[in-house]
Structure 1
Amino acid sequence: GAGASGIIAARQLKAAGIDVTILEARDDAIGGRLHKVCIAEFPPGSGRFVEVGGNWIEGLGNEAEVNPVYSLAWKHDLHFQPTDFHDVTYRSNKGAVDQAGFKKRFDEFNKMAESLEEMAEKREQLNLVDISLRAAYRMAGWYPQDEMDDSIEWNSFDYEQAESPDVSSFWKTSDIKTFKHYGDGSDFVMDQRGYQHILEAEAKSFGCGYGSECLQLGKVVTEIQWNFVQVHCKDGSVYKADYVVSSVSLGVLQNKDLKFTPPLPDWKIQAIHSFHMATYTKIFVAFPSKFWTDQTQWVWYGSERRGEYANWQVLDAKPFKKHFGGKHVLLCTVTGEIAHRVERQSDEKTLRELMVVLRNMYGPSVPDASAILVSRWHSDPLFRGSYTNWPIGMLIEEFDNLIAPVKRLWFTGEHTSMEYFGYVHGAILAGNRTGNDLVACI
């Protein structure tokens, strides 16, 4: 695959003088889950493209340990803009509310979250078993009381991990290593070449760019024979090799889209199905005119159902305004079961639901939207989800089995990064590790 892990693994192998062929299922672009909308402009006629996949360089500010995505972004002149996730206005289903009360409760949640680091250290010293993040929240004194509390919690955790605290590991998600190691900053990618540009440029730099013999587009892999390596594609082509590196997502591994011959051993299958593939769905909505009065980068909504249309990024706010050229665009994000429902239903139904929410927030004069665009990673057979989350009680041995090769079949991807699963830099570091390990093996 030609996502972040696949490209970087190929780079390491090529650097060691090893002959590499990259098989990419898409027929028009590399980048994997870094993917701009190529089929249409958004809003239509604007001349602007939007990212339906990864959008941020997350974990910035630590000069002693630089995020590898940041290094690639500077190397290939990617355009991005610092963002402030605390620049928020809260609105309920009755419209504007007292922001002082919201800020007070938001501060209380953040103080509780900061206290979890000490709790985690004590539990590790005592060698206690993992618990859910929900249990840890309660032990630290956090009990959501109303829709505002639910919104604060969802936007502070689910919006990042794409699953709820109820199913997430306290051990692996309470102290997200990305921000601890690389810094608290996050930059929003706003480049008309797309976030995928860093992978396109990197592939070109080692001879596997568009048009090269070592990059084969439109190759949907249907079967991998791993005793004596043969890779079969949907178009009937067959590739023989000494080794094969699978960089398909955890979601693809968990489905029947890809056949392994012989079948993978039970220990590998158990590990694959023990981790979670989460879904993070982006809904871009354009309007003929601006109706919101908030000057913040985000507006959070207190919905009756936790996480239902609770996060709105204002893409004509000052940091993003230049990119969208005065177009009036909001980006709403949903995760989990709500994301699955939104993917299944029509865009027209989703838009009707969104308009009810917006008119609850801003009143009946909100104009009808002029366009909508919904990402659908969960239902895409090339991905089957957005990124990995670490469930409760998972053992290190299970993770070791997840990343372990099976004879001549190797595995890489963001799901094979123990510290940075779910992140672009996790995918890059995993690809780097897999490539180097395979070079050493060869």
Structure 2
Amino acid sequence: MVSAQQEPRILILGGGVTGIIAARTLHERGIDNFLIIEARNELGGRMRSHSFGNSTIELGANWIQGTQEGDGPANPILVLAEKHGVKTHYNDLYGSLTTFDVTGAVDYVDTFNGYVNASDEVSVVAGARVQRGLVDASSRTGFSVIGSKPKTAQEIASQYFIFAQAPDQSSWLASAWNSNFTYVPEAGGFADEDLLSVDQRGFKTLIQEEANEFLSPGQLLLNTTVAKILYSEDGVMVSFANGSTIEGDFALCTFSLGVLQNDDVLFEPELPAFKTEAIQSSVMATYTKIFLKFPQKFWFDTEMAMYADTERGRYPIWQSLDHPNFLPGSGILFVTVTGDFSIRIESLPDEVVKAEVLEVLATMYPETSIPEPTDFFFYRWNLDPLYRGSYSNWPPSFLVEHHGNLRANVERLYFAGEATSKHSYGFLHGAYDEGLQIATILADCIDTGKCDGLPHVEDVLNVHSYDL
């Protein structure tokens, strides 16, 4: 029972989208005794901008994914961007594409379009499996079931472009509903459209400006890293890396799944087995954008390009920011790698990675003398103890009961973030929605004095026992 004599204090751990929207939700409910604790010197979480070659680039979140169709539901990230005047532009990810392989420029757009269609079919079949209550499998299984089995480098690159995370590490069913709840209005999504942020204040502006509307200085503590969280049925105490502590009646932990998996923050007592299993059963994906600035543009005129190497995931997805729709005249080009390849390059010196990227560019343009870039940068998301990756991904072995356990509170310690969103994990709007929903549960608890918390199961069981 929460005491009605004094408004309880809520510690919001992390100042990303989830933390800010949770704080705003509490404020709108008339609850202002909260403190946002953020390790960095600014709000934004994984919305991180960087000054690069006289331009502002986005190291992490970069797109509003799924917008609005007609007067249907709007992506809340779109609403914030429009409210705060954040400049974006439609990014034609699939329709403005030049293709390359180890021989140079070669047109295999038809092959790519075939995999776009295959991806749609995989989602349709997944939806039917959900309705019939059939078992989940990997996305690789889904593609194989419909007869889509990439063998050539061009086919493998095409599937990678659409499905950047390894298909054998991704849930077939969850991947389908994750996409549908974002891009398909008929399935509860917004619209099949992506907007790229090109705002030179940084994409993070939309959440920072939102915070400025209601936060007072006493509700924010920056440059403070959490080291340990002590929790009980009576409250929480948070210990910081500098040795100081702070107490609260409740805490909302919005740290990334990767931070929780890597024990970068300790819990006392240790989290219960059901919670630990849920945390360790999910996957923290890494998505790395490698930026180059050149004295002049020599590359493709489309927005996007794809390179098919003999090795899957070797510098395959390219995007030009020096494009009329984005940052014309900037001389900036970037290439994206993910997963194990991201982990690999994070262990290498910048000069080695740059040499590899330039080697690929030379392969793509065998008749062109590739100039030395005047600037080069990529962020090591997996190595950073504040993130340990870019966003969560739902693997085939992660069951809905695991998801419920990941989301469940432990005593007065609550959890929220994009990883706890069933429909929209991995997306900014998933982070937004979880901040809203979990803060609403906390506000109801405080207002009514009844704090039942979120449900969980002690053991995640098979429907059938093993017959060995």
TM-score scaled to structure 2, two decimals? Answer: 0.88
Q: Does 1:82 align with 2:90?
A: yes
Amino acid at match of 2:431: A
Partner of 1:15: 28
> Residue 117 of structure 1 contacts residue 174 of structure 1 at CA under 8 Å; is this kept in 2?
yes
Amino acid at match of 2:407: I
Tell me, in whole angstroms, the C-alpha distance in 1 between the residues paired with 2:149 and 2:218.
Answer: 57
Amino acid at match of 1:219: T
Query: Greater shift after overlay, 55-64 or 339-348?
Result: 55-64
Partner of 1:427: 431
Tell me, in whole angstroms, the C-alpha distance in 2 between the residues paired with 1:390 and 1:376.
Answer: 22
Query: Greater shift after overlay, 400-409 or 194-203?
Result: 194-203
Deviations 1:43-88 (A, max 9, x none): 1xx2x22111100000023231100001111111111111101210
- 1:321, distance to aligned residue in structure 2 (A): 3.1
Amino acid at match of 1:195: F
Deviations 1:163-213 (A, max 9, x none): 2111100011134121120111010001121111111111111124xxx11
Partner of 2:295: 288
Q: 1:114 aligns with which of 114, 120, 129?
A: 120
Q: Does 1:128 align with 2:134?
A: yes
> Residue 417 of structure 2 contacts residue 431 of structure 2 at CA under 8 Å; is this kept in 1?
yes
Deviations 1:343-395 (A, max 9, x none): 11111000100111000000251112221111111100001110000000322
Tell me, in whole angstroms, the C-alpha distance in 2 between the residues paired with 1:154 and 1:226.
Answer: 42
Tell me, in whole angstroms, the C-alpha distance in 2 between the residues paired with 1:9 and 1:393.
Answer: 30
Partner of 2:408: 404
Amino acid at match of 1:194: G
Partner of 2:309: 303
Tell me, in whole angstroms, the C-alpha distance in 1 between the residues paired with 2:343 and 2:118.
Answer: 30
Q: Does 1:166 align with 2:190?
A: no
Amino acid at match of 2:267: F
Q: 1:139 aligns with which of 137, 145, 149?
A: 145
Tell me, in whole angstroms, the C-alpha distance in 2 between the residues paired with 1:222 and 1:103.
Answer: 49
Tell me, in whole angstroms, the C-alpha distance in 2 between the residues paired with 1:148 and 1:55.
Answer: 26
Tell me, in whole angstroms, the C-alpha distance in 2 between the residues paired with 1:121 and 1:75.
Answer: 35
> Residue 405 of structure 1 contacts residue 411 of structure 1 at CA under 8 Å; is this kept in 2?
yes
Partner of 2:460: none
Partner of 1:191: 199
Tell me, in whole angstroms, the C-alpha distance in 1 between the residues paired with 2:324 and 2:285.
Answer: 31
Q: 2:285 aligns with which of 266, 278, 283?
A: 278
> Residue 127 of structure 2 contacts residue 173 of structure 2 at CA under 8 Å; is this kept in 1?
no
Q: 1:50 aligns with which of 31, 42, 57?
A: 57
> Residue 312 of structure 1 contacts residue 330 of structure 1 at CA under 8 Å; is this kept in 2?
yes
Tell me, in whole angstroms, the C-alpha distance in 1 between the residues paired with 2:201 and 2:327.
Answer: 18
| Secondary structure, counterpart of 1:257 in structure 2 | coil
Partner of 1:385: 389
> Residue 131 of structure 1 contacts residue 171 of structure 1 at CA under 8 Å; is this kept in 2?
yes
Matches within 5 A, 1:200-349: 200-208=208-216, 212-227=217-232, 228-292=235-299, 294-322=300-328, 326-349=329-352
- 1:16, distance to aligned residue in structure 2 (A): 2.1
Tell me, in whole angstroms, the C-alpha distance in 2 between the residues paired with 1:108 and 1:133.
Answer: 17
- 1:125, distance to aligned residue in structure 2 (A): 3.2
- 1:311, distance to aligned residue in structure 2 (A): 0.7
| Secondary structure, counterpart of 1:187 in structure 2 | strand
> Residue 281 of structure 2 contacts residue 397 of structure 2 at CA under 8 Å; is this kept in 1?
no
| Secondary structure, counterpart of 2:436 in structure 1 | helix
Partner of 1:71: 79
Q: Any unmatched runs of 5+ in structure 2?
A: 1-13, 447-468
- 1:237, distance to aligned residue in structure 2 (A): 2.2
Q: Percent same amino acid among aligned pairs? A: 38
Amino acid at match of 1:196: K
Matches within 5 A, 1:347-366: 347-363=350-366, 364-366=368-370
> Residue 129 of structure 1 contacts residue 393 of structure 1 at CA under 8 Å; is this kept in 2?
no
Partner of 2:43: 30
Partner of 1:91: 100
- 1:340, distance to aligned residue in structure 2 (A): 0.6
Tell me, in whole angstroms, the C-alpha distance in 2 between the residues paired with 1:122 and 1:388.
Answer: 25
| Secondary structure, counterpart of 2:49 in structure 1 | coil
Q: Using a 3 Å threshold, how does the CA distance of structure 1 residues 125 and 327 change in structure 2: closer, same or farther?
A: closer
What is the aligned length? 421
| Secondary structure, counterpart of 1:109 in structure 2 | helix
Amino acid at match of 1:148: Q
Superposed CA RMSD? 1.2
Deviations 1:24-53 (A, max 9, x none): 001x2110000111xxx311xx2x221111
Tell me, in whole angstroms, the C-alpha distance in 2 between the residues paired with 1:285 and 1:339.
Answer: 17
Q: Does 1:373 align with 2:382?
A: no
Tell me, in whole angstroms, the C-alpha distance in 1 between the residues paired with 2:118 and 2:57.
Answer: 35
- 1:121, distance to aligned residue in structure 2 (A): 3.0
Tell me, in whole angstroms, the C-alpha distance in 1 between the residues paired with 2:150 and 2:220.
Answer: 51
> Residue 66 of structure 2 contacts residue 194 of structure 2 at CA under 8 Å; is this kept in 1?
yes
Deviations 1:206-228 (A, max 9, x none): 124xxx11100011000111113
- 1:409, distance to aligned residue in structure 2 (A): 0.2
- 1:327, distance to aligned residue in structure 2 (A): 2.3
Q: Any unmatched runs of 5+ in structure 1?
A: none
Tell me, in whole angstroms, the C-alpha distance in 2 between the residues paired with 1:174 and 1:229.
Answer: 38
